[in-house]
C-alpha cells in the first residue's frame, strides 16, 4: 500500500492563478516521490480550471451532498465531482461537522454516496478533547462506527480513514498529537475495526493522521507504526512544508 499525502486546501486561495501555482508544486513533488500517493483537494470552483491532466496527483472534493441532484442550493454532488476529474472526496471533516451540523449518520450517507458514484471517501473523525478520564475513547469509537454504519461490509476496504483530533487542527491548535498518543489511538482504531469487520478487511483500510502536520513533525509522525499517511490543512499551501511532508512518507 502506497502511503498517502492528502492536501485539504480548505477555502484558500482566493485566485485561480495562485491555485494553479499550488497544484503545479503539488504535481512537482508528487513526481519526485512516485512512491507516495498525493491527493489534493482544492476548492470546488477551481478544480475544473486547474489542470487538464492531474497526473500524478489525484483530485479530491472537500465535501459532497448526500443527494445525487435536485433542489439543494449551494451543494455539489459526488457525480459532479467525478465529472470534473475527482477520484476522492473528503467527508465528515470536523469543520463541516461543527459548522453545518453534519452528524456521523450524515457522514455515513455521504460515504455511501461517494462509493456509489465511484469516488473514494476520505472519512474524517476524531475527538474534540483528550480528557484524562478516557471519554475520548468512547467519542472516537461511536463516531467511527456511526460514520461507517451504512457502508456494506464488502465495500469497507474501499475507504480511507482520517483520524483528526479536533484540538490539533488548524491555526488555533497548540500542537499536533505526540507520537505516543498517535500510536495508542491507531491501535484503538484498528481494534474497533477488527472487532467489527475482521482483520482481513481492516488491514486494507488506510488510516491517515491529520492535525498540525508540518515540515518539522512529519518525519516522526510518519514513522509511527500504523500511520498510512497524512491529511494536511494549512501546510497544503506552503511548499517548504508540503514537500517535506511528501518526502516523510516516501
Ligand atoms: P491543519 O488541518 O493541518 O491545518 O491542522 C488539518 C485538517 O483540517 O484536515
Q: In ligand 1, which atom is closest to the CA atom of 94?
A: 8
Query: Cα–Cα distance between 67 and 163 in angstroms, integer?
Result: 25
Alpha carbon of residue 59 to chain centroid = 12
Ligand 1 site, residue 212, Cβ cutoff 6 A: yes
Q: pLDDT means per 10 residues in the chain (250 residues)?
A: 97 96 96 98 93 90 97 97 96 96 98 98 96 92 98 97 95 88 97 97 97 96 98 98 98
- Output the CA 170–ligand 1 centroid distance in Å: 5
Contact residues for 222 (Cβ-Cβ < 8 A; gap 6+): 3, 230, 248, 249
Phi then psi dihedrals of residue 122, to 5 deg: -100, 105
Choose the catalytic residue: 95, 127, 139, 164.
164
Please tell me the residue having the least CA distance from ligand 1 atom 6.
233
pLDDT of amino acid 58: 97
| The pLDDT of residue 71 | 97
72 labelled catalytic: no
What is the per-residue pLDDT for 168?
93
Cα(161) to ligand 1 centroid in Å equals: 14
CA pair distance 70, 93, nearest whole angstrom: 23
Radius of gyration for the chain, computed over Cα atoms and rounded to the nearest angstrom = 17
Looking at 26, 93, 237, 241, which residue is catalytic? Answer: 93
Ligand 1: residue whose CA is nearest its atom 1: 233
**Predicted local distance difference test score (pLDDT) of residue 175:** 84
Instruction: Give 38's contacts (C-beta < 8 A, 6+ positions apart).
Output: 4, 5, 6, 7, 26, 29, 30, 56, 57, 58, 246
pLDDT of residue 54: 85
Taking the C-alpha atoms of residue 89 and residue 91, their distance in angstroms, rounded to an integer, is 6
Amino acid at each position: 500500500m502506497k502511503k498517502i499525502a492528502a492536501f485539504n486546501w480548505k477555502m484558500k486561495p482566493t485566485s485561480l492563478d495562485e491555485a494553479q501555482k499550488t497544484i503545479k508544486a503539488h504535481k512537482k513533488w508528487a513526481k519526485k516521490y512516485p512512491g507516495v500517493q498525493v491527493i489534493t483537494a482544492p476548492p470546488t470552483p477551481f478544480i475544473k480550471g486547474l489542470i487538464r491532466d492531474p497526473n500524478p496527483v489525484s483530485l479530491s472534493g472537500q465535501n459532497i451532498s448526500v443527494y445525487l441532484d435536485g433542489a439543494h442550493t449551494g451543494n455539489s454532488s459526488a457525480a459532479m465531482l467525478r465529472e470534473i476529474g475527482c477520484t476522492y472526496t473528503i467527508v465528515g471533516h470536523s469543520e463541516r461537522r461543527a459548522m453545518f451540523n453534519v452528524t456521523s449518520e450524515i457522514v455515513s450517507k455521504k460515504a455511501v454516496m461517494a462509493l456509489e458514484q465511484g469516488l473514494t471517501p476520505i472519512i474524517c473523525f476524531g475527538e474534540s478533547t483528550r480528557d484524562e478520564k478516557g471519554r475520548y475513547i468512547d467519542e472516537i469509537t461511536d463516531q467511527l462506527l456511526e460514520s461507517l454504519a451504512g457502508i456494506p461490509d464488502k465495500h469497507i476496504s474501499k475507504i480511507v480513514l482520517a483520524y483528526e483530533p479536533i484540538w490539533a487542527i488548524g491555526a488555533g491548535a497548540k500542537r499536533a498529537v505526540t507520537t505516543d498518543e498517535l500510536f495508542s489511538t491507531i491501535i484503538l482504531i484498528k481494534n474497533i475495526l477488527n472487532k467489527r469487520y475482521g482483520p482481513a478487511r481492516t488491514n486494507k483500510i488506510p488510516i491517515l493522521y491529520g492535525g498540525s502536520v508540518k515540515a518539522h513533525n512529519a518525519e516522526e509522525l510518519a514513522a509511527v507504526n500504523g500511520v498510512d499517511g497524512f491529511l494536511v490543512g494549512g501546510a497544503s499551501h506552503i511548499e517548504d512544508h508540503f514537500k517535506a511532508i511528501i518526502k516523510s512518507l516516501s
